[in-house]
A and B are shown apart, each in its own frame.
Chain A
C-alpha cells in the first residue's frame, strides 16, 4: 500500500515539474512549484520523516506562498495565459506528460520500478538511545537537536546566510 502511495506521489511530483516547464505565465509557475513542493513533502512524510516533512511544508512552502503572493500581485496581466489558451503550450504540456508516461512504461516493462521499493526499505528513520535504555527518537528531530547542540557554529553561519540572503534581495531590488 505504502509503495503504491509513493509510486503515485512520484508520478504527481514529475507531473508538477512538467507543468512548471510548460508554464504559460509566471503565476502558474509559482503555483506548480507550490504543488510539487507539497507533493515532495508528502513523499518525505510517507517514508517516515514526519518532522522534516512538516517543517519543510510549513517553512519552505510558507515562504513559497509569500513569493507566490508577490508574483501574483506583481503580474499586471488581468487575464494571464493558461495552459489551455494556446495550442503550442497545450501541445508542450501533452508532450511532456506523454514522455513521462512512456518513460514510466519503459521502466515498468524492464522491472525498474523496484527502485521505489528499495528506497522505501532503506531503513527506519528511528535511532535507538543506547542498549540499556529503551528510548526511541526519530532521526530528523535528532538531527535538529544535534545542530543546536554541537553544531552551534553551523547555526551561526546559517543564520548569517539567511540574513545576507534577505539583505541582498532588498539591496538589489530597492533601486536608486
Chain B
C-alpha cells in the first residue's frame, strides 16, 4: 500500500468503528459499519495477489449483504416507530433482521463460513485487525440492543457457533484457519451470554482481543502460517515456545490462565438464570477447541517435530522483527485471572 494512502485508509477504519460506537442514531451506526468495512478492503490486499483479492471480495460480499439487511431492519424500525434512536423494537421482524445481519457481520454460526475462507487469504496483520477491531462495532450494536434480541435465535446461533468453531478446526494445519475457527467459537460464547449479561460479553471480547493479539504477534514475529513452521520455534526462541503454549492453553480456557475468567463468569451467569443444559453442552463442545489447541501445543513445545537438518540452525541468525507490545499482551493473556473481580469496576 502506498504510504500516502495508509493514513487515509487506517483513519477511516478507526473512524468508522468510532462513529458506530459513539452514535445513538441508527443511520450513523450503519454509516460507521460501512466505512470500516470499506476501509478494510485495501488493508486486506496489500500485495494484490489473486488469493487476497478473492478473500477481500468474499469479505465485501458478506459484509455488504449484512449491511443491506441491517439497513432494511433500520427502515422497518423507522416505519413502525417513527424515530431513529436505538430503543426497544416493537417490531419482531425488525429485531430478527437486525440480529441476523449482525450475526453475519460477526461470523456467528449459520453464517460463519466466510471467516476461515477470508482469513486464510489475507496476511497476518490484516487478519488480526479482522478478528479483533472489526468485531467491535457489531458487538457494540448488540450490546445496546440486547434486551430485545430474540433469545432462542441467539442461543441457537451461540451453541452452533461453539460446536462448529470446534468441529471445523479439528483437522486444520493452517494457523490462520485455526485462529478463524477459534474466533467463531469465542463469538459463540459471547453470543450466549449477550442476552443475559452484556457486560460479561464485553469482558470476553476484551480478553479474547488480548489472546488473539498475542497469538498473532507471535505468528507475525517469525511469519508462521502453518503448524510445521510453528514447530521450528524451539530453535529460534525457546522462551516464545513456552509462551505460545501458555497463550494457547489460555485460549482454550484452562483455569489458572486469563482465558478461564470469561468462561467461568459465563457459565456462572447462565446457571444463575436457570439455564443449565446449554452451558454444560457449550463447555463440553469447547473441548473440541481445546483439542486442536493442544495439538498445536504438542507440535510446538512438547515434542521435537520432525524437520530437516538444515532448518535447525535458525538460532544462528539475529532477530529482525521486534514487536514492542508483545510482552505486555503475553502477560495480559496469561495472568489476568486474579484480577477478575476488577471487572465489576470496569463495567
Using CB atoms and an 8 Å cutoff, list the residues of chain A in contact with chain B.
154, 157-158, 160-161, 164-165, 167-168, 171-172, 175-176
B149 to chain A, nearest CB (A): 27
Report the separation of the CA atoms of residues A160 and B56 in the bound assembly, to the nearest whole angstrom: 22
Is there contact, CB below 8 Å, between B42 and A160? no
Contact B8 A167 (CB under 8 A): yes
Which stretch of B30-38, B179-187, B270-278 is in the interface? B30-38
Q: Would A168 and B9 count as touching, CB distance under 8 A?
A: yes
A165 nearest in chain B by CB position: B38
Q: Measured between C-beta atoms, what is the minimum distance from B115 to chain A in Å? A: 21
- Total number of A-B contacts with CB less than 8 angstroms? 43
Which residue from A154, A157, A164, A175 sits with its C-beta under 8 Å from B48?
Answer: A175
Shortest distance between the CB of B34 and any CB in chain A (Å): 7
Q: A168 is contacted by which of B39, B47, B53 (Cβ under 8 Å)?
A: B39
A160 proximity list for chain B (CB < 8 A): 12, 15, 35
Question: Hey, which bits of chain B sit against chain A, CB under 8 A?
Answer: 1-2, 5, 8-9, 12, 15, 19, 27-28, 31, 34-35, 38-39, 41-42, 45, 47-48, 53, 56
A168 to B9, CA, bound (A): 8
Given known contacts A164-B39, A171-B2, A158 and B31 CB-to-CB distance under 8 angstroms? yes
* Alpha-carbon gap, A154 to B9, bound state (A): 19
State whether B5 touches A171 (Cβ < 8 A): yes
Residues of B within 8 A of A158 (CB): 31
- Whether B45 contacts A164 by the Cβ 8 Å rule is no
Closest to A161 in B: B35
- A contact residues around B56 at 8 Å (CB): 172
B194 to chain A, nearest CB (A): 28
- B48 partner residues in chain A, CB cutoff 8 A: 172, 175-176
Q: Which of chain A's residues have a CB closer than 8 A to the CB of B12?
A: 160, 164
B56 nearest in chain A by CB position:
A172
CA distance in complex: A158, B38 (Å): 13
* Distance A167 CA – B6 CA, assembled complex (angstroms): 11
Q: Please measure, in the bound complex, the distance between the C-alpha atom of A168 and the C-alpha atom of B42, giving whole angstroms.
A: 7
Q: Which residue of B lies closest to A170 (CB)?
A: B5
CA distance A167 to B4 in the complex (A): 12
Distance, CA A157 to CA B8, complexed state (A): 14
Distance A144 CA – B12 CA, assembled complex (angstroms): 25
Whether A172 pairs with B35 at a CB distance below 8 angstroms is no
Whose C-beta in chain A lies nearest to the C-beta of B25?
Answer: A154
A151 CB → nearest B CB, Å: 10
Q: Say yes or no: A161-B28 contact (C-beta < 8 A), given A168-B39, A176-B47.
A: no
Residue pair B41, A164 in contact (C-beta under 8 Å): no
Known: A158-B31, A171-B2. 12 other contacts (CB 8 A): A154-B28, A157-B19, A157-B28, A164-B12, A167-B5, A168-B38, A168-B41, A168-B42, A171-B5, A172-B53, A175-B48, A176-B48
Q: A158-B31, A161-B31, A165-B38 are in contact. Are A172 and B45 (CB under 8 A)?
A: yes
Supply 14 A–B pairs (Cβ within 8 Å), ascending by A: A157-B19, A160-B15, A161-B34, A164-B9, A164-B38, A167-B8, A167-B9, A168-B39, A171-B2, A171-B9, A171-B42, A172-B45, A172-B48, A172-B56
A26 to chain B, nearest CB (A): 14
Residues of chain A with a CB closer than 8 A to B35's CB: 157, 160-161, 164
Q: How far is the CB of B333 from chain A (nearest CB, A)?
A: 33
Known: A157-B19, A167-B8. A172 touches B31 (CB 8 A): no
